[in-house]
Amino acid sequence: MLRSIDIPRSRADDSQELPLAALVAAARQARCFALIGAFLTLPAFAGEAAPAPHSGDATIAAALRHERGDGVAMNAGRAAEMYCAAAREGNADAAYRLGWMYANGIGVERNDRHATALFRHAAVQGHAAATRMLETMSTGDARQPLCMTLEPPPTVTAKPEADGEPPLPTGRENSATASAHSGGATHVGSMATPPPAAPPPVGDQVLLAVARWGDAWSQRQVGPYLAAYAQDFQLPAGESRQQWEHQRRTRIADKAWIDIKLHDLTIAVEGDLARVRFLQEYRSDKGRDSSIKTLTLVKSGRTWLIRREQSEALPPPLVR
């Protein structure tokens, strides 16, 4: 965090040694900047001890295993999801631990407003450490993270076929099933050609389609952006498809640059329909906006296209 320092030289002779007073002043200034830099690089709320690395609560203990890599692969992001789910159910310690993660950028992007809201959520339930945190924080613009304000989409479960049997597996599992049903016999010709690679999971296909839509918008590539919408896309104002496309082309061309960021994506898939909900941050040279967006996508061949687009205002900041 050190910055460059201009030390004054003698006007009479630039080659002279610096006066002692100037050297002392410069050294003091350098130490001052070093101390400021060290302070700014400390984690937020470093005065409070980090949450305990163990818990008698089964839910917290499970999240801790992911956060610390205890018996499972370390995944702080997964731990944050588990803390948030528990906090929604009223677990004060989970809210406190998630607030700590937001305050220090562990597993999630650092966000002091989210941290403040979560500490308050825990403090009103009598959590002592969270209460101490709030004593040193500005709480005027606290805002809960999206995972606390919105329920995730419903989980979709596989449905049985018409004959009551579970659906057949896909990809290589089909080959194994067919081989087992045929008594293990394998044709020589089939051994020469390996089976085709299984397609990526449906959820990944949907998220890839959403990512490409966002990238095309950010890069102001109007053709790929409009191609992300299905032919039966539900137009928001009842205008014709041609009018809507013209409006979108004009709005995109009007900007010198556009930046789209999507956060906290949740997805639910049911057959050939998928719903994706996320926090959208839009910025351009003409302004900025944040909203909660829900896209309904329909499967079309090997890709997914947007059939419906809905936007909601963000929840208002918390106030005392």
At residue 31, the 3 state secondary structure works out as helix
Q: How far apart are CA 91 and CA 130, in angstroms?
A: 13
Which positions ≥6 away from 229 have C-beta within 8 Å? 305, 306
Q: How far apart are CA 236 and CA 222, in angstroms?
A: 19
Statement: 58-145 belongs to CATH 3.40.50.170: no
Considering only CA atoms, which of 312, 292, 306 is closest in space to residue 244?
A: 306
pLDDT of 173: 39
Tell how many helices (H) and how many strands (E) occur in the chain.
Answer: 12, 4
Bridge partners of 153, per DSSP, are: none
Q: How far apart are CA 68 and CA 58, in angstroms?
A: 15
pLDDT of 88: 87
pLDDT of 32: 52
pLDDT of 74: 87
pLDDT of 114: 87
pLDDT of 22: 56
Bridge partners of 305, per DSSP, are: 298
Q: Are 3 and 33 in contact, with CB atoms under 8 Å apart?
A: yes
Per residue in 57-107, pLDDT tens?
888 898 898 888 888 888 888 888 889 888 988 899 999 999 989 888 888
pLDDT of 180: 38
Query: pTM for the complete prediction?
Result: 0.46
Residues (pLDDT < 50) of the chain are: 1-18, 23, 34-46, 153-191, 320
Which fold is adopted by the domain 202-312? Nuclear Transport Factor 2; Chain: A, (3.10.450)
For tokens 């900025």, name the residue.
288
Average pLDDT score, the chain: 74
For tokens 């403040």, name the residue.
116
Q: Are 142 and 318 in contact, with CB atoms under 8 Å apart?
A: yes
pLDDT of 170: 40
**Torsions phi, psi of 274, nearest 5?**
-140, 145
Q: How far apart are CA 110 and CA 35, in angstroms?
A: 23
For tokens 């906006």, name the residue.
289
Per residue in 300-311, pLDDT tens?
988 999 999 999
Per DSSP (E only), the strands in 232-302 are 258-270, 273-284, 287-300
Question: What are the structural domain ranges in the chain?
Answer: 58-145, 202-312
pLDDT of 183: 43
Q: Are 265 and 297 in contact, with CB atoms under 8 Å apart?
A: no
Compute the C-alpha angle 265/267/272, nearest 5°: 145
